[in-house]
Amino acid sequence: MKSRQVTDKRIVRVDLGERSYDILIGSGLLQSAGGETLARLDCRKAAIITDTNVAPLYLDTLTESLQTDGIETFSLTLAAGEKTKSFENLQTAVDFILDARIERSDAVIALGGGVIGDLAGFAASVVRRGVHFVQVPTSLLAQVDSSVGGKTGINTRQGKNLVGAFHQPHLVLADTDTLDTLSPREFAAGYAEVVKYGLIDQPDFFHWLEKNRKSIFSGGTDRAEAIARSCEAKAAVVAADEHENGARALLNLGHTFGHALERATGYDSARLVHGEGVAIGMVLAHEFSARMNLASPDDAHRVAAHLRDAGLPTTLGDIDGSLPSPDILMDAIGQDKKVKGGKLTFILTHGIGKSFIADDVPSSEVLAFLTEKHSQ
Ligand SMILES: NC(=O)c1ccc[n+]([C@@H]2O[C@H](COP(=O)([O-])OP(=O)(O)OC[C@H]3O[C@@H](n4cnc5c(N)ncnc54)[C@H](O)[C@@H]3O)[C@@H](O)[C@H]2O)c1
Ligand SMILES: O=C(O)C(=O)C[C@@H](O)[C@H](O)[C@H](O)COP(=O)(O)O
Ligand SMILES: [Zn+2]
């Protein structure tokens, strides 16, 4: 059986010269993965990396589609969760790809959420100094953000994503059917990154999300529309500044605080997942902007209300277990990749959809702000 035609998919192009690629978004794409891959890559073998939650749900379908189109497959299933983005698992993934004798022209395929995408992409970037890479994102977060743009990497005890590489995929296949099995908590976490695009520079998109949040959560055309608009926003930023020399840093809205919270909670997905850290971080970024007289506190309240209605945490107190101390958070913030000449860079805002890159933010102000938040 040849792969079936998919007629209702949307295609977003990431324009990067000879490294340009398509993001396909739609229903039934897993079943046509073989054909879509072969249409773009002349590969004979594929090394699929996935996790323990996703494998039982989608590995057979993907494997069958690839094999039907004559691609030999190998698979590696890693433990689900943020702790998987480690040196140990990088070693495991590299060994697996080399043992499968994957050549540069073959493909490493990430089947899963952002954890698997970041780890598999990093392994693909270092094996033979770069083998072809295909993203098959199955979480909302991965479909709207992490599968696009080529950031790959792992976490270390010093901080999030501190070891990694830029390695663009050759294709992103976002099968929206897979979102039906995602837990409500993980769906909400992915939604935080959708809201981020509105808060960066698209106030109209934020208003649209305020109006349509419920229908996005229940599926259907508004969900597909939210995914496509998110991918368009990310593709445009990446095309303009692939290696984050400037405007791409805006995609880090909420992440300086969020990443610090993830490190402080030990990358423990039971306590905090990435999208939740970003949700709290975006509220903190709006509150901090208001404290610095850059924005109205009303905007911070509005952002917090929207995220809270979506089922996301919005304050430090919403995190399970003991509250991370301001000193521990400041230590993590000091390791942020945007630090330049020892000075902190934050994405701050003049209001909803008016984010900007603020260099040289005084750490004394950040500490005072976090100390105040810690005692509330
Ligand atoms: N590279 C980038 O540009 C970028 C962007 C944003 C986030 N990230 C990274 O992505 C990671 C977060 O990604 P995530 O939120 O997808 O986390 P994740 O990969 O841990 O996936 C979330 C959970 O959902 C499960 N899951 C995934 N798809 C499923 C499905 N269809 N049905 C049932 N369960 C499913 C996973 O097993 C996991 O338990 C973080 O490490 C973050 O740093 C990277
Ligand atoms: O693609 C980007 O650029 C982003 O910043 C997207 C973020 O959502 C993502 O979490 C990214 O991994 C953070 O980047 P980092 O460089 O701060 O690790
Ligand atoms: Zn993120």
Which of 62, 82, 119, 141 has the most ligand 1 atoms within 8 A of CB, as the residue to mutate? 141
Q: Is 2 a catalytic residue?
A: no
Are 178 and 116 within 8 A, CB to CB? Answer: no
Does residue 285 sit in the same domain as residue 165?
A: no
Mean pLDDT of the chain: 96
Instruction: Count how many domains the chain has.
Output: 2
Among 271, 253, 258, residue whose Cα is nearest residue 194:
253
Asked whether 263 lines ligand 2 (CB < 6 A), one says: no
Q: Which ligand has the shortest distance to the CA of 82?
A: 1
Does residue 189 sit in the same domain as residue 176?
A: no
What is the predicted pLDDT for the residue at 220? 82
Its domain, for residue 306, covers 184-375
φ, ψ of residue 226 to 5 degrees: the values are -65, -40
Say if 4 falls within a structural domain.
no
Does residue 106 sit in the same domain as residue 255?
A: no
Does residue 232 sit in the same domain as residue 370?
A: yes
Asked whether 65 lines ligand 1 (CB < 6 A), one says: no
What is the whole-number distance in angstroms between the Cα of residue 2 and the centre of ligand 3? 37
Say if 174 falls within a structural domain.
yes
Question: For helices 274-291 and 363-375, what crossing angle results, to 10°?
Answer: 110
Catalytic residue among 196, 223, 229, 248: 248
Domain boundary (154, 181, 208) is at: 181
Instruction: Identify any residues that bridge with 171 across adjacent strands, giving them in sequence order.
Output: 22, 134
Residues 97-114 as b or e (16 or more Cβ within 10 Å = b): beebebeeebbbbbbbbb
Measured CA distances, 92 to 19, 44, 84, 89 (Å): 27, 22, 11, 5
Catalytic residue among 252, 276, 287, 306: 252
Asked whether 145 lines ligand 2 (CB < 6 A), one says: yes
Does residue 235 sit in the same domain as residue 138?
A: no
Catalytic residue among 85, 151, 263, 306: 151
Which of 90, 118, 143, 250 has the most ligand 1 atoms within 8 A of CB, as the residue to mutate? 118
What is the whole-number distance in angstroms between the Cα of residue 256 and the centre of ligand 2? 10
What is the predicted pLDDT for the residue at 322? 86
What is the whole-number distance in angstroms between the Cα of residue 282 and the centre of ligand 1? 19
The encoded tokens of residue 336 equal: 């942020």
Among 258, 148, 242, residue whose Cα is nearest residue 192:
258
Are 43 and 177 within 8 A, CB to CB? Answer: no
Does residue 58 sit in the same domain as residue 132?
A: yes
Domain boundary (165, 181, 197) is at: 181
What is the spatial distance between Cα 76 and Cα 92, in angstroms, rounded to a whole number?
Answer: 9
CATH number for the domain spanning 151: value is: 3.40.50.1970
Query: How confident is the model over 37-71, as pLDDT tens digits?
Result: 999 999 999 999 999 999 999 999 999 999 999 99
What is the predicted pLDDT for the residue at 7? 54
What is the spatial distance between Cα 288 and Cα 85, in angstroms, rounded to a whole number?
Answer: 30
What is the spatial distance between Cα 159 and Cα 153, in angstroms, rounded to a whole number?
Answer: 11
**SS3 for 75-125, per residue?**
EEEECCCHHHCCHHHHHHHHHHHHHCCCCCCCEEEEEECHHHHHHHHHHHH
Say if 5 falls within a structural domain.
no
Say if 95 falls within a structural domain.
yes
Q: What is the amino acid identity at position 71?
A: I
Say if 368 falls within a structural domain.
yes
Helix (H/G/I), strand (E/B), else coil: 2:
coil
DSSP strand E in 85-239: where? Answer: 107-112, 132-137, 151-156, 159-166, 171-175
Are 234 and 193 within 8 A, CB to CB? Answer: no
Among 119, 108, 174, residue whose Cα is nearest residue 143:
174
What is the chain's length?
Answer: 376
- Say if the ipTM goes beyond 0.90: yes
Does residue 169 sit in the same domain as residue 195?
A: no
pLDDT < 50 regions, the chain: 1-6
Q: Cα 118 vs. chain centroid, distance in angstroms?
A: 9
What is the predicted pLDDT for the residue at 5? 41
Domain boundary (118, 153, 181) is at: 181
What is the spatial distance between Cα 229 and Cα 240, in angstroms, rounded to a whole number?
Answer: 17
Asked whether 263 lines ligand 1 (CB < 6 A), one says: no
Does residue 189 sit in the same domain as residue 124?
A: no
Does residue 163 sit in the same domain as residue 199?
A: no
Q: Is 306 a catalytic residue?
A: no
What is the whole-number distance in angstroms between the Cα of residue 350 and the centre of ligand 1? 30
The model carries a pTM of 0.97
What is the whole-number distance in angstroms between the Cα of residue 210 and the centre of ligand 3? 20
What is the predicted pLDDT for the residue at 1? 35
Does residue 205 sit in the same domain as residue 242?
A: yes
What is the spatial distance between Cα 372 and Cα 374, in angstroms, rounded to a whole number?
Answer: 5
Asked whether 253 lines ligand 1 (CB < 6 A), one says: no
Q: Which helix (H) or strand (E) holds 332?
A: helix 326-333
Beta-strand relationship, 72-78 and 45-51: parallel
Say if 356 falls within a structural domain.
yes
Say if 332 falls within a structural domain.
yes
The encoded tokens of residue 300 equal: 């911070």
Are 160 and 337 within 8 A, CB to CB? Answer: no
